[in-house]
Amino acid sequence: MEVQILSRKLIAPSSPTPPHLQNLKVSCFDQVAPSIYLPCIFYYPADGDQNNEKRSKEMEKSLAETLSLFYPLGGRYIKEEFSVECNDMGAEFLEAKVGGFLSQFLEREEREQSEMASHLVAPLFQAESSPLVMVQFNMFECGGLAIGISIAHRIADAFTIGTFISAWATACRIGSDKVHCRPSFQLGSLFPPKQMPSSSTGTAPGTDIKIIRRRFVFDGHTLSKLKAIARDGDSEQLVKHHPSRVEVVTALVWMALIRVAQARHGHLRPSLLRLTFNMRGKTAMTTPDYSCGNFDAISTTTHDCARASSSDDIYSMVSSKVREVGEALGEDSVDTFIFSCWCRFPWHEADFEKNEEKD
């Protein structure tokens, strides 16, 4: 399937950012985030009465309105100053035509579909002074849509991205006045930039790397069996709580990766698992409900996070974990695997489809 870019434009916030908000210092967590975009793709089947040109205009208008709330996302990142210049230069909005039907694309084998999906979103690596939000509105021949949204990881973690997309979808579907979340951008003042160790997990823009995507689906019955196996196998009751779905799947995948490494090298090797998780609401330190930016921890336990009651406590905890991962990545004899979980984020609320009966 061929993807042809039809148009490219910048969508500025509908309301100008006030002068006192035009420079936003990022947090110490933002400064170590990799220079990549985090991509999401939302698929919509063809509707007999669907007018994609009208839908595109509605998305542009609601994007402008949402950028007024999430005003830093309409600006540009200034690496040397650890800040975002909230200059209202806007998000990039692309319209693209895709050859073939959406149903044909979704029915393709996983490997072929994965390779094709990379053309439905913006590039993974972020150049300096690039837009922080890039949207690709893909129109299939059948009238189906694929909306690819990429947001710079430098100023947004999965929670921020999910909150922004959910707010935008609400604005597009039923109007910006129905968006109830009010994002906060105070993390930079609570956790100002510091000299933090590099985790060496980012890759310089332009670096030629190979990314392979694979999807493995675990249904409810399989997850229940995995949880039962984990409980029954813990005869010494080393685990004091019932494992979650994420924990059992992570453990299974990690075990498989360890065995792959053993087969490749001919012996068992030390293995380190890095799992990031959302710290909002998990520390003794109070932060705004919709704190936007990067506020993830590299976790081996939630105990330290629960005890952290100040910005210095949290900084010390995270920098220690970052240093540990960085040292492990520098060891050729240690296998390091990075996991993340996007569960419990508002992805299901990210519905751009209008319900005409309620309008």
Q: What is the pLDDT of residues 115-167, one digit of tens each?
A: 888 899 977 666 677 999 999 999 999 999 999 999 998 888 888 898 899 99
What is the band of 201 on the pLDDT scale with cuts at 50, 70, 90? very low
pLDDT of residue 204: 46
Once rounded to an integer, what is the mean pLDDT over residues 239-262?
86
Residues 224, 126 share a domain: no
335: in domain? yes
Residues 124, 75 share a domain: yes
Model pTM?
Answer: 0.77
Question: Partners of 137 in the beta sheet?
Answer: 95, 147
The domain in which residue 281 lies consists of 220-233+240-340
Among residues 153, 157, 304, 335, which one is catalytic? Answer: 153
Residues 99, 224 share a domain: no
Domain CATH for 273: 3.30.559.10
186: in domain? yes
**Is residue 241 among the annotated active site residues?**
no
Residues 96, 22 share a domain: yes
Residues 115, 248 share a domain: no
Among residues 47, 119, 313, 351, which one is catalytic? Answer: 351
143: in domain? yes
Once rounded to an integer, what is the mean pLDDT over residues 87-92?
96
Once rounded to an integer, what is the mean pLDDT over residues 268-297?
66
Residues 255, 155 share a domain: no
Q: What percent of the chain has pLDDT over 90?
A: 34
Residues 250, 160 share a domain: no
pLDDT of residue 112: 80
Residues 161, 17 share a domain: yes
Q: Residue 2 to residues 99, 114, 118, 177, 280: CA-CA distances in angstroms?
A: 5, 14, 12, 38, 41
Residues 247, 353 share a domain: no
Domain total in the chain: 2
**Is residue 153 among the annotated active site residues?**
yes
Residues 354, 326 share a domain: no
264: in domain? yes
> Is 52:80 a contact under the CB 8 Å cutoff?
no
**Coil, strand, or helix at residue 77?**
strand
139: in domain? yes
> Is 295:279 a contact under the CB 8 Å cutoff?
yes
What is the band of 46 on the pLDDT scale with cuts at 50, 70, 90? confident
User: Does the pLDDT value for residue 168 go beyond 70?
Assistant: yes
Residues 354, 328 share a domain: no
167: in domain? yes
209: in domain? no
Residues 127, 82 share a domain: yes
> Is 27:294 a contact under the CB 8 Å cutoff?
yes
What is the overall mean pLDDT for the chain?
A: 80
Both structure tokens of 322: 């970052």
Mean pLDDT is highest, among 2-11, 231-240, 278-287, for 2-11
User: Does the pLDDT value for residue 316 go beyond 80?
Assistant: no
The C-alpha atoms of residue 77 and residue 327 are separated, in whole angstroms, by 28
